[in-house]
Structure 1
Amino acid sequence: MKFASDSLLLRSVSSSDLVSKWMGESEKLVSNLFQMARESAPSIIFVDEIDSLRGQRGEGNESEALRRIKTELLVQMQGVGHNDRNVFVLAATNTPYALDQAIWRRFDKRIYIPLPDTKARRHMFKVHLGDTPYNLTERDFEDLAQKTERFSGSDISVCVRDVLFEPVRQTQDAMFFVKTSDGLWMPCGPKQSGAVQTTIQELAGKGLAAKITLPPLSKMDFYKIMARQKPTVSKSDLEMHERFTKEFGEDG
């Protein structure tokens, strides 16, 4: 992925992008990446999932190819013989404690990015919903944020994606529909004013398939999904990150 402007070049790579099955090719890829950054300075090199290069050098289970990649990366980051003042290297990992110490020590700052707080989670729910119709109030979004403590951004994304299917499920299982002011048929409860006992199959059989609309999302749709979804980050994971930050890093 590349972003270019008049004054800055940003290249983002995953550690897997630097691995080749051909002897010597991986080191060349690392060298070429830094050479390109130097020629295009000021530049930022962002290495995602740098934990793919995990393991201490010299470990018995470390392949020769991986050792060469790590050695070349260390040499290039050291910048011996080069003017790298305008080349900025960033990396991301979920397991900093598993990295070779020589690698993470090459980074002047080791910043801990914590899980999203309540305010951030509230905003994420809105962002992932986008233009999807919903009946949630600001207080409902605040409640969702409060109930998703320890959820990562990915957890919230998965939650919303699952919730987006709820109106489809409701429509498929509905036994009652009501005709809206726009002339569309929307699933409803049996006690709702104007409710007609029918199914989506019966409406489709009458040629009204194009006239069926999904109900807007409600907070109950979220509660239903959240009742079975758990955060993917454990308390022990957080404690490990905080311990690493206390010893070797700094808060973001």
Structure 2
Amino acid sequence: MGNAGIKKSSAPKTKTANVTSETVTFTENVSAPPKSVEKSNLGFSSKKRSRELPKHIMMTKKPNVHWSDIVGLNVAKEALKEAIIIPIKFPHLFKGKRSQVTGILLYGPPGTGKSYLAKAVATEASYTFFSVLPTDISKSTRENKRFIKNLFEEAKAKKPSIIFIDEIDVLCNNRSISTDVGTVYRIKNEFFTQMQGLENGVIVMGATNVPWVLDLTMQRWFQKCIYTPLPEKAARRHMIEYFIGTVPHCLIPRDFDSIVMRTDGYSGEAIEELVREALMMPLRKVQRATHFKMSSGPSPTNSTVCSDDLLSPCGPREQGATEMSWMDVPGDKLLEPKVTVWDFIKSFDSSRPTVNSDDLQRFEDYSKKIKQRDLYS
């Protein structure tokens, strides 16, 4: 909401941007200045130097995430379509006082799909997408201040584009409670300066799990604040079925209902982790088994063919049990064990809700505050 070097030249001062599908490289070649200048407050050595955006700042025309890939969040998706997709399709409607937003804040509990929403926007709108982590630009070095400027310049050069900053609260938290001083403070101001000078076609999207700690200036700058709540009952069931996929299981509708009820308070990410853990339970049974018996079922090499010479784990007293370990089972003779509701029950022992009721109430209170701000702004 994905996954270098120094170029030397004796040419006079030039700036270029070398773009690939994965990285954006900024190169600045500076001819050696006179000694009197070299000792001045230029802030960097006279040596020629280059600047490369980290590889995880992926620049791609289409992150390949579509609206249909995101379960639930219908209100958030419609809000993003209104703010970004409609202005693209009907640009003549957004002139004069009716202008397209340049700042969008996605806020909500952890793991609720904020980064996926940003990528879906970039895909559906065919925007160039920059994904930035706070650690890329929050270090107290002058190079990172330059990085911010280069990032926004490249976004303008490749517009329409989206700069997505995850965990933006780390970079732009409330100054009254922040411990940032000196250079880090100036880096933050550079970030504000660049955002104030945005052009049409460049959108900054921020994501945060704690919107109430954002700098007040930043909160006012985001014209659109979109809440990404925890998935509702129907969405949770859809997610569970999706994450199970084609893995063999013996769950009946009543089992799904039980699992869905117990995932109240879980984010999509937490549900994915829960299902992943449940899918591993049958494999652990195979590892712990001391006896196996002959069974029939789909062939491991061809699921359309039924084989009657497969092996499955069993108890030592079951009929046909043979003492052996999983290491003794041929690779193409193990019957894939099915996932049961008990596998999910065991998985709940190592999982917990994403947020509690107090946390949810805080998000609700913040949403009311945003609505009042929009009403009287």
Q: Residues 54, 78 of structure 1: CA spacing in aligned structure 2 closer, same or farther, 3 A cutoff?
A: closer
In the aligned structure 2, how far is the partner of 1:8 from the partner of 1:229? Answer: 37
Alpha-carbon separation, structure 2, partners of 1:92 and 1:98:
12
TM-score by length of 1: 0.84
Q: State the secondary structure of the residue aligned to 2:136.
A: helix
Q: Are 2:330 and 1:218 aligned?
A: no
39, 51, 59: which one aligns with 1:2? 59
Using the TM superposition, give the Cα deviation of residue 56 of structure 1 relative to its aligned residue in structure 2, in angstroms.
2.3
Indicate which of 117, 121, 125 corresponds to 2:240.
125
Distance 1:78 1:246 in 2: 26
Q: CA deviation at 1:59?
A: 4.7
1:91 counterpart residue number: 206
**Number of paired residues?**
242
C-alpha spacing 1:185/1:18, structure 2 compared with 1 (3 Å): same
Partner residue of 1:180?
295
RMSD, aligned α-carbons = 2.6
Residue 181 of structure 2: aligned partner: 63
Q: 2:139 touches 2:184 (CA, 8 Å); kept in 1? A: no
Per the TM alignment, residue 54 of structure 1 is displaced from its structure 2 partner at its CA by 4.6
Match of 2:104 in 1: none
Q: Which runs of 5+ in 1 are unaligned?
A: none
CA contact (8 A) 1:15 1:52 kept: yes
Structure 1 equivalent of residue 270 of structure 2:
155
More displaced 10-residue stretch of structure 1: 62-71 or 115-124: 62-71
**Distance of 2:322 and 2:291 partners within structure 1:** 5
Structure number with the higher strand fraction is 2
The answer to whether residue 135 in structure 2 is matched with residue 16 in structure 1 is yes
When residues 191 and 211 of structure 1 are mapped into structure 2, their CA distance, relative to the original with a 3 A threshold, is: same
Separation in structure 2 between the aligned mates of residue 73 and residue 197 of structure 1, nearest angstrom: 68
User: 3-state SS of the aligned residue for 2:224?
Assistant: coil
Q: Which amino acid aligns with 2:210?
A: T
Partner of 1:28: 146
Cα shift readout 1:46-104 (whole Å, capped 9, x = no counterpart) = 1111121253225562232331222111111111xx6x121111110001111111112
The answer to whether the 8 Å contact 1:8/1:41 transfers is yes
Listed one character per residue, the Cα deviations across residues 117-136 of structure 1 (whole Å, up to 9, x for unaligned) are 11221122233223322222
Assess if the C-alpha contact under 8 Å between 2:144 and 2:187 holds in 1. Answer: yes
Q: 1:41 aligns with which of 159, 175, 190?
A: 159
Provide the C-alpha distance between the structure 2 equivalents of 1:27 and 1:69, rounded to a whole number of angstroms: 5
CA contact (8 A) 2:281 2:343 kept: yes
What SS does structure 2 have at the residue aligned with 1:4?
coil
Hey, which bits of structure 1, 4+ residues long, moved more than 4 A? 189-192, 207-210
CA–CA distance in 2 between the matches of 1:228 and 1:20? 35
Q: Is the 8 A contact 1:134 1:216 kept in 2?
A: yes
Q: Which residue, 60, 72, 97 being the options, matches 2:190?
A: 72
Structure 1 distance, partners of 2:184, 2:257, is 46
Structure 2 residue runs without a partner (length 5+): 1-57, 63-124, 297-306, 373-377
1:198 to 322, 325, 328: 322
Contact 1:53 1:66 in 2 (8 A): no
Residue 152 of structure 1: how far off its partner (Å): 1.0
Contact 1:110–1:249 (Cα < 8 Å) also in 2? no
Alignment partner, residue 225 of structure 2? 110
- How far off its partner does 1:146 sit? 2.0
Distance 2:250 2:317 in 1: 19
Aligned-partner Cα distance in 2 for 1:71–1:127: 44
Shift of 1:7: 4.9
- Give the corresponding residue for 1:237: 359
Match of 2:169 among 44, 47, 51: 51
CA distance in 2 between partners of 1:10 and 1:209 (Å): 43
Q: Secondary structure at the match of 1:105?
A: helix
Letter aligned with residue 133 of structure 2: S
**Partners of 1:134 and 1:167 in 2: how far apart?**
10
Shift of residue 187 of structure 1?
Answer: 1.8
| Cα distance per residue 1:132-158 (max 9 Å; x no partner) | 222223443343222200001221122
**Contact map agreement 1:57 1:67 (CA 8 A) in 2:** no
* Structure ranking higher in helix proportion: 1
Higher mean displacement: 63-72 or 129-138 = 129-138
Q: SS state of the match for residue 235, structure 2?
A: helix
